[in-house]
Structure 1
Amino acid sequence: MPEIGTNFSDVILSGGTGRSGTTIIGKLLSRHSQIGLSRPSEIKMLTSGNGLLDLHLGRKVGRYRKLMVNDRLHLERFRQRLFHDWWEREPKVGELAGLIQGIEHEELEDLYISLKRDWKQEKSTAPGKFLRAFIDSQKLRSGKLFWIDTTPVNLFRALDLADFLPGAHFIHMVRDGRDVIASVIREPWGPSTYEDGLDWYRNRMTRILTNTALLKDRVLTISLEELALNNRDETLTRVLAFLNLPREPKLQLYFDSEVSPEKVRQGRWKNEVADMAKFNESYFRIVAELREIDPSVPLASS
């Protein structure tokens, strides 16, 4: 059983470039009797601008940053985002999205009141106490020992998160960058062309691999292709060994039916890239650069 308190050894954070399998691993692991999926599955208040991590770091960002002339106004900006931007978001498919999925409004208000009180006493630790109480509330509902969040940015900001959340485990989900780009160019937050997507992928992977090189045994890096296609059983074994958890029938059943080869979309870019030879050349040049940072990164080199 993980040690709780100011320690976060019961927390698992999956992440990656985005569209790389972070939600897939979260949903899979939540089928284990000891792991509960955060609600929502991406807790935006942790890593988004002026969220808990930024409060902890004293980092003011966004269009209102010049107005946050002191710490009190920084906390007030967090409150605004907490009860507006993060409380309820536009759903992708007809159901409620946001913090409203996993906590009562009154309880969240109580947590904020405690944060405000703690903020006056010790600004650097108050955000961590808030998150600890939030996670404990969700674990009380789920009855699970571990809690997993699947926000892709978790790995982009992993070094700061590792300091903020002592003991937390990280799972870096890697996916063939060409398939990632084919997916993100369809998202409003992603690059709009395959050419821009290459730069986007390089920048994000470079930052993430630089982080994971320093996290050492606190991070496990696997590829979506290994998990779902090429090396399924061994990869699942590695994931469970990393978390020191046994296999269970319910998790195995979900793995066999939902994390299957036919569920992973591959190769869409082949029908959409104008000059495939040039695109592949540029992509594999990026892979070579990434291997200089981490020779073990699970990406095909040709």
Structure 2
Amino acid sequence: MKMGADHPIVLEPRCPATEDPGILSFMHLAKTLTQASWLELELRPSGAAPPQTYRFGSGSGNVITLPLEAGIEFDASLRLGKAPQPATDLVTLLSDSLNQVLELRSLQIQTNLLSRALETTSNSVLLFDDEGGILFANPTADHLLSQQTEDELLGSRNNRPWQPLFTLLSSLVERVASRDGSESPWSGVIELEEGRMMACDVSAVPAPVSDGPNAVLVTLQPTESKSDQRIQVFSSSHSLSPREQEVLQLVGRGLTTVAMAEELGISPHTIRDHLKHLYRKTGTKGRNELFGLISRDS
């Protein structure tokens, strides 16, 4: 895999399959334009991949071999059977057509690869156009948006009033899209009304061509909730063990002793022992008093 200025990801070139639709269309076009009885295309990748020969029609007789320009990744030659000598302009047209077929295939492969990679991440990834419309959402983001529809998921940043998460994201997209590129992308934390915290990054994606549309990339990554942060600080100040901190977090979720035991894969008796240690270390006598102390300490 290589990196290039025009292609963010440039895979080692490999020849298309013999039944590739783009190659078949090119061969049909070449046969029609050159009036050949049959033709044969040979592609030779610049890397270590093997060459490939494509044949269209059958026959024998006089053969004209044309070297074609196929970009920096391939050398190509086209053999014409029983055809008149093509004009220079026609050879140029065939070279341009083949180059476009190979470039389109390369971009399709890169797009599919990136799409599958984004589908594997646990972060929410959304791509907006510069007018706020969604161009792409990976499965994690799609699930988040479905919660917006079903449960009216509300979000806030910097302690501002709650608003639908999509509305909040759209305002950030509009803010970044309106910049001239000289400012940094927006980064911050979005708090969901249900208690979750999401680290959010919003950055502009410039158009690859001067007259093309711009896009805005949004990523959302779960981060510690305020409750988790309070528990972490409280645990550190009272020298709680990692296991005691886990038990404390489960207590905060309202789990019963049996449910906590199932969650941690230990016995209810062991959970009770951990709770006793928690009460002793914190000078409390029960769950309510324990969480009252956490709130006061924070």
TM above 0.5, yes or no, is no
Rg: which structure is higher? Answer: 2
**Shorter-chain-normalised TM-score: which range?**
under 0.3
TM-score normalized by the length of structure 2: 0.22
From the two aligned structures, give the one with the greater helix fraction. Answer: 1
Tell me: higher relative CO, structure 1 or 2? Use CA pairs within 8 A at least 6 residues apart.
Answer: 1
TM value normalised by structure 1: 0.22
